[in-house]
Structure 1
């Protein structure tokens, strides 16, 4: 039998971490129902909806745990009764009509006063962070140092994504793989650096194999890659598979994720093969997770190598120009790289770690290695 009927857990969850889930778990083990109220200010960099979604994902299998969010722009002053009243009023609004609270679970000293205001039992645990030595302030200051304290969805939300794109046979795959290896070589949490392959290339190989299987059955000549037909259904599949692969890798990987193409690149490839980009593709681009850096591989000085899945040597200059146009209009940070493999990697690392000093990534600032 549960000790309490209805427990309340409140916080910013900015971002949610292992200590927060310990608090929720303790409440769920002691009460028949738990309401978790996520309180976020408009000035904070992680959206309220993301925090609510991340916590709900962890507790989706526990029907007694309800997670709700509320915007709280009231300043914090534990000595001001009116400010206390304002915060508590927002918490009460987040509850269902007529609900009462008989326990308040907290890991802060203010939990005693909060419980008094709800006429509930104060359950204050791990104030000294002895059980879970982590806090939201520490995570925001250095996410990499506390990566293990974050659930997969939070990791995916905080991971800084580097996207390598370019025309055919300009070294995008080579550079993206080299970059992932260079980051892993740094050790620590960067050893988890993930890499996402280009699904369009996989689909090309599959379509060609299918076409040749059909031709062999009919006794027709074997088709080549330039004879494949592409339509909106193919690119809908590319959008789906590419986004799924990126999300999986972001959840399993480290603080930086390297992708060999993404949906913005897919939009240009769709224009190249179909003559236009579908509105659905641009809509998907608009909902992608934040990009830290786009890297365009120049075709200049790079010989075209036909590996059996390429047919666009004559379009490389156009595609490079089109990528520049799309990137320039995107508002995203991007660079174009030339030179040897080593020079390209060094250029990306230099740009990447110069940019990772803002918002949630102060702890990533470090000098890139001389020889990645």
Structure 2
């Protein structure tokens, strides 16, 4: 079946990209030889920065040409000789975004379009403006303007991404999952605490892959193993986030792997250092007020104190907020739950 249109266009904030947006995009894909996606938000909206929106579009619509525009990217295109107006504010009069889209299509996409797909009442006027600038007809295709198929809005989703997660693809909702990470030296109760907290929250728990790999290799880790551990830990975490309702409990992070790389080999791969930069919604440092227990995989009390001091210094250097957990296991679980209650917007 031949396509109805040569080139189609979908424009949106996609903050966040939800199933209503996806319905419009998939409708356009079915009717166009070529589809262009154009996205911007000025200012950017909570939880929906440009990097995330770009990733969502790439994951959900691989192969579709999409541009997520920011003021910095406008400046970069200008330095390449492309003539572009300033990025319109979200509250700008309707002429400004319409004219911006027309000029952007010609300057960056290098083409005009003959159809625009929206679920909004402004679509007819938008198409007429593009037609005036392009000098040829542009058709507006309206998709589910009454929101009957996907009854949701970006505003509602930003306010309650977990309660309304059924309107988000798993790849999108995963970025709203609150990731909880436990750090601490050897024998500070991280693993037991992670399991207990995950049970209390009915949340997935990502175990420490480094310990599994150490056991599998009978303790004979090589330098390259550390990057493998870091990559695997982060990949497991990302997969688990797809299944999480709100919280994801992480026994450790690549920051731990970075420490061991330096402690064991005096160096670390740049990629591992980048993985260790991943921020978490809630970070907890387990105090070393437990008696040190040698389980056959650990070093000694002196090493634990060294590791604990490194975590404290590193968290402070990075400016990451964290809470120190003290006392027995049950007390630590209650400290975390209290922190989560205090941090909840509800």
Instruction: Give TM-score scaled by structure 1 length.
Output: 0.80
Distance (Å, rounded) in 2 between the aligned partners of 1:165 and 1:274? 21
Distance 2:43 2:96 in 1: 21
SS at match of 1:10: strand
Question: Residues 163-202 of structure 1: matches in 2 within 5 Å?
Answer: 163-184=181-202, 193-202=203-212
Distance 1:56 1:346 in 2: 40
- Asked if the contact 2:10/2:25 (under 8 Å) is kept, the reply is yes
Aligned residue in 1 for 2:56 = 54
Alignment of 1:99-118 (within 5 A): 99-118=111-130
Cα distance change, pair 159–126 in 1 and its aligned pair in 2 (3 A):
same
1:321 aligns with 2:309: yes
- Whether the 8 Å CA contact 1:160–1:256 is kept in 2: the answer is yes
Q: Which residue of structure 2 lines up, in the alignment, with residue 265 of structure 1?
A: 256
Residue 291 (structure 1) aligned with residue 280 (structure 2): yes
Deviation of 1:118 after TM superposition, in Å, equals 2.3
Alpha-carbon distance in 2 for matches of 1:91, 1:44? 24
Query: How far does residue 264 in structure 1 lie from its aligned partner after superposition?
Result: 1.2
Structure 1 residues 113 and 338, CA gap change in structure 2 (3 angstroms): same
Name the counterpart of 1:243: 234
How far off its partner does 1:11 sit? Answer: 0.2
Q: Structure 1 residues 77 and 41 mapped into 2: Cα distance closer, same or farther (>3 Å)? A: closer
Q: How much has 1:87 moved relative to structure 2?
A: 4.7
Which fold has the larger relative contact order, with Cα–Cα distance below 8 Å and residues 6 or more apart in sequence? 1
Q: CA RMSD in A?
A: 2.2
Moved beyond 6 Å, runs of 4+? none
SS at match of 1:291: coil
The CA deviation at 1:270 is: 2.6
Q: 1:155 aligns with which of 155, 161, 173?
A: 173
| TM-score, scaled to structure 2 | 0.86
Q: Which residue of structure 2 lines up, in the alignment, with residue 81 of structure 1?
A: 95
Q: Structure 1 stretches of 5 or more lacking a match?
A: 185-192, 209-227, 358-364, 366-372
The residue number in structure 2 matching 1:38 is 39
Inter-partner Cα distance in structure 2 for 1:38 and 1:79: 17
- 5+ residue gaps in structure 2? 72-86, 132-137
